[in-house]
């Protein structure tokens, strides 16, 4: 492109439509949540996983055991032993949406799910890229992980940006050209994202344990909500 005589013109910059991500270290919940999730994972293996694995082994005519599995518990958001953790996640999720600029005065926040996942110790556990439809907040709390395990990968949620993708100058740096961001987490790390954010967990090699809690939250109009509100604390209204 031909250079003209207007190189002196300076443009201002602004950032719009970015994807907010909150992270924090919350080690105070590691031990109580390990104890609670042990119970839910044991229940899940007994009721769901073992039956599914036997059926898979039968169909494939091979003994694969739990290779490549991701053990997924039932929701425990209503468990009294999880109340302190659930209340904390709910309050932080409210603050997250408030910080994003949303007016929540006529809404209340409700957990739609809160469960624990653990990848197989034999390796192969993973989650393909997905979103949680109709959820306003998604969150993760990591209980067992290391630099040798899988990790959360967040993807650009803007379809238009993906359709016009160009090569990156330096893939080792996080810039506006990134299509995905890999998060290095440790036990106690909490991540909060908008529910529309695509995310995945790459294949885990089974070298070390990988366990995390995942939750989804909806902001429901107060006029139609019949669930237990866990939004803004009464003292802060």
CATH number at residue 108: 2.60.120.620
Whether 56 is covered by a domain: the verdict is yes
Residue 5: inside a domain, yes or no? no
Asked if 193 contacts 21 with a C-beta cutoff of 8 angstroms, the reply is yes
Residue 207's pLDDT is 92
pLDDT number for residue 235: 40
Identify the segments of the chain with pLDDT beneath 70. 1-4, 47-68, 225-237
Domain residues for the domain of 113 are: 22-232
Residue 3 lies in a domain: no
SS3 letters across the chain: CCCCCCCCCCCCCCCCCCCCCEEEECHHHHHHHHHHHHHHHHHHHHHHHHHHHHHHHHHHCCCCCCCCCEEECCCCCCCHHHHHHHHHHHHHHHHHHHHCCCCCCCEEEEEEEEEEEEECCCCCCCEEEECCCCCCEEEEEEEECCCCCCCCEEECCCHHHHHCCCCCCCCCCCCCCCCEEECCCCCCEEEEEECCCCEEECCCCCCCCCEEEEEEEEEEECCCCCCCCCCCCHHHC
Determine the pLDDT at residue 225.
64
> Looking at residue 70, what is its pLDDT?
79
> Would residue 12 count as lying in a domain?
no
**11 in any annotated domain:** no
Residue 63 counted as domain residue: yes
Name the pTM for this structure.
0.84
Per residue in 106-150, pLDDT (tens digit) is 999 999 999 999 998 888 888 899 999 899 999 999 999 999 999
Domain count, the chain: 1
State residue 51's pLDDT score: 67
Q: For residue 220, is it within any domain?
A: yes
- Establish if 39 belongs to a structural domain: yes
Contact assessment for residue 190 and residue 140, using Cβ atoms and an 8 Å cutoff: yes
* pLDDT for the residue numbered 105: 92
């Amino acid at each position: 492109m031909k250079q003209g005589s207007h190189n002196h013109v300076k443009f201002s910059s602004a950032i719009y439509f970015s994807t907010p991500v909150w992270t924090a270290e919350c080690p105070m919940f590691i031990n109580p949540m390990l104890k609670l999730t042990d119970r839910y994972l044991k229940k899940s293996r007994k009721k769901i996983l073992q039956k599914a694995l036997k059926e898979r082994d039968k169909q494939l005519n091979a003994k694969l055991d739990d290779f490549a599995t991701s053990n997924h518990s039932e929701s425990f958001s209503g468990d009294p032993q999880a109340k302190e953790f659930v209340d904390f996640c709910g309050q932080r999720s409210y603050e997250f949406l408030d910080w994003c600029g949303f007016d929540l005065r006529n809404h209340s926040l409700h957990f739609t799910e809160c469960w624990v996942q653990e990848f197989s110790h034999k390796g192969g556990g993973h989650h393909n890229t997905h979103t949680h439809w109709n959820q306003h907040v998604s969150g993760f709390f990591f209980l067992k992980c290391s630099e040798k395990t899988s990790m959360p990968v967040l993807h650009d949620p803007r379809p238009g940006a993906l359709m016009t993708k160009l090569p990156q100058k330096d893939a080792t740096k996080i810039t506006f050209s990134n299509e995905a961001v890999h998060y290095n987490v440790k036990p106690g790390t909490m991540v909060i994202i908008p529910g529309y954010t695509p995310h995945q967990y790459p294949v885990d090699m089974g070298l070390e344990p990988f366990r995390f809690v995942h939750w989804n939250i909806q902001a429901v109009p107060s006029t139609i909500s019949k669930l237990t509100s866990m939004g803004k604390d009464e003292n802060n209204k």
